Amino acid sequence: MRHIRSFVRREGRMTKSQKSALDRLWPQFGINPETPIDPTVLFNRNAPLHLEIGFGMGHALLEMAQAHPENNYLGIEVHRPGVGRLLDEIEKNEITNIRLLKHDAIEVLGHQLAENNLDSVMLFFPDPWHKKRHHKRRIVQPEFVTMVLSRLKPGGLFHLATDWEDYAERMMEVLSQESGLNNLSGAGNFASRPESRPITKFEKRGLRLGHGVWDLLFEKDRE
């Protein structure tokens, strides 16, 4: 697929605890680029496998993993402070069902994850690249959606959320054109936030300011 990076590495300063966690815990919880992912070996068990792309500082991913210890979670984030912060929280909370990648999500999907392997893919508040000339850098493009679809199991869920209305409309357009996906809220309809998606501090602040949030829930054909 044509690959324009959807991110820029805008790394801020890492705290001592973030750097320490990244240095110490990456060998245990990190997955290096190009390494094929075998979930049974990685987690030493068979369990539903869920992927969050762009987990930021890891608040939602941590909350989901704590609430559902019966599931396995993969998280992708390119910004080292966020990876370090989540590793620190994994250690503090003795979490065992998260593994992390600090690499381009499109390359991870294309080279490290097998087809029909994920129970869900979550993409919460990706960079909106709000200027029109930058829209080509938005991660939600037809080729990306086709890639996600191939990695989902039959019946797997693709859950997206954004607080940019024009991006939400574009997401709806792209996903609705993918024949292997079905909108669980009905054609053209956005979903109410499911309880499975935690509300982050960023989102709470936006809601207080009157910002909208749009969720999209699409299911892969069960065949």
Q: How confident is the model at residue 202 (pLDDT cuts 50, 70, 90)?
A: confident
Q: Are strands 181-183 and 214-220 parallel, antiparallel or unpaired?
A: antiparallel
Q: For tokens 């750097």, what's the residue?
A: 19
Task: Decide: residue 177, CB within 10 A, 0-12 exposed, 13-18 middle, 19+ buried.
Answer: exposed
Q: In this predicted structure, what is the pLDDT of residue 6?
A: 46
Q: Per residue in 36-60, pLDDT tens?
A: 999 999 999 999 999 999 999 999 9
Tell me the CATH number of domain 48-220, given options 3.40.190.10, 3.40.50.150, 3.10.129.10, 3.30.565.10.
3.40.50.150
Choose the weakest-confidence range: 44-48, 112-116, 179-183, 219-223: 219-223
Token reading at 19: 């750097």
Structure confidence at residue 2 (pLDDT): 45
b/e per residue, 135-145, with b = 16+ CB within 10 A?
Answer: eebbbbbeebb
Q: Residues 205, 138: contact at Cβ < 8 Å? A: no
Percent of the chain residues past pLDDT 90, beyond the cut: 82
Residue 4: which pLDDT band, with cuts at 50, 70 and 90?
low
Using DSSP, state whether 124 is helix, strand or coil: strand
Average pLDDT along the chain:
92
Vertex 155: Cα angle to 120 and 66 (nearest 5):
30
Residue 127 annotated in active site: yes
- pLDDT tens track for 146-179: 999 999 999 999 999 999 999 999 999 999 999 9
List helix spans (H) across 124-200.
Answer: 142-151, 165-176
Pairing of the two strands 118-124 and 49-53? parallel
The Cβ-side half-sphere exposure at 162, using a 13 Å CA radius, reads 21
Beta bridge partners of 124: 161
Apex 66 CA angle, 185 and 75, nearest 5:
70
Segment 191-217 shows an average pLDDT of 88
Catalytic choice (127, 166, 215, 221): 127
Query: Domains of the chain: which residue ranges?
Result: 48-220
pTM, 2 dp:
0.92
Concatenating the DSSP letter of every residue in 200-221 gives PHHHHHHHHTT---EEEEEEE-
Confidence of residue 134 (pLDDT cuts 50, 70, 90): low
In this prediction, residues 117-131 reach a mean pLDDT of 90
